[in-house]
Homo-oligomer: A and B are copies of this chain.
């Protein structure tokens, strides 16, 4: 592996800023630059004062370039102007903008692109999760990394389905109302059910794992730290709790947390990440509370958390490796996880 892939990130928000930073940590990748259109506080922080200040900053549009320059940013040019030197763009722009970027920027310039979970499903032929279907992205030009909740479900369902077999799964999602920075969102004191049963998460998982029998129900609650899933799975084989615990333990990007160790809530797991001095207290793993894992008459139950801001970061990195044929699945996952530990 001597090729160093040149990758740009378009859209420096919750996902984009994390993926850009993760690219900087990969031995086989180079951050070609970051692009945006708006002089947000987070762009100012990461691009002017923070960890991305050495990366070239581009205007994602001509107008965006002017906006950033007028706001005092040091802008190297337009994103389009450097696409010839870029192997791949990670697009983390809002829904709708991503589609426009694909049609007006990436396809005409023949550059590969990764899109995020918020994008329309038809933006890319492959919906991606590194654990579940890495090979489906090999050599592809456009890939969509599925959303945070779907990523957690795909990781865990793939582990179970590959080694034990899943007859049927139901996940009840307790979604965080907003991210920490989203101070305009609610609820403050309410619980909001999502109308549709199944919620969009079940069909999204099935985009990655066709044929998986899964249903999802969801509510939104007043918390910012994490989503929480309560899951029940009818298993295809008769296994005991210890077998499942061992399986989860051995699955990449799945972590077990025990209340006995002091990690018995979303806030306590996050406090662990802060104490480990993880950047932004990110935790890329689907975090399962060990005490909640139970098997009863062939049905497996557990409760797990999903750090909504960061769980898809490693999958973006692996998607790039698959699309650029830089490594096989196990090697990519291992390389990514080592770089982000």
Q: Could you tell me which A residues sit within 8 Å of B by CB distance?
A: 170, 172, 174, 187, 189-198, 215, 217-219, 221-226, 228, 230, 232, 259, 264-268, 289, 291-294, 296, 299, 301-303, 305
Q: Are A215 and B301 neighbours in the complex by a CB distance under 8 Å? A: yes
Task: Let me know if B189 and A303 touch, CB within 8 A.
Answer: no
Closest CB in chain B relative to A20 CB, distance in Å: 27
Q: Do A303 and B259 touch (CB < 8 A)?
A: no
Closest to A268 in B: B190
Copies of the chain in the assembly: 2
Nearest-CB distance from A306 to chain B (Å)? 11
Cα distance, A190 to B176, chains bound together (Å): 9
**For residue A195, which residue of chain B has the nearest CB?**
B291
Q: Are A223 and B226 closer than 8 Å at their CB atoms?
A: no
Neighbouring B residues of A196 by C-beta, 8 Å: 291
- A293: chain B residues within 8 A (beta carbon): 197
Q: Can you list 13 contacts pairing A with B, beta carbon distance less than 8 Å?
A: A172-B230, A174-B191, A187-B267, A189-B224, A190-B267, A191-B225, A191-B305, A192-B264, A194-B292, A197-B294, A198-B296, A218-B230, A222-B222
A223 touches which of B191, B259, B265 (Cβ 8 Å): B191
**Contact yes or no, A191 B226, CB < 8 A:** yes
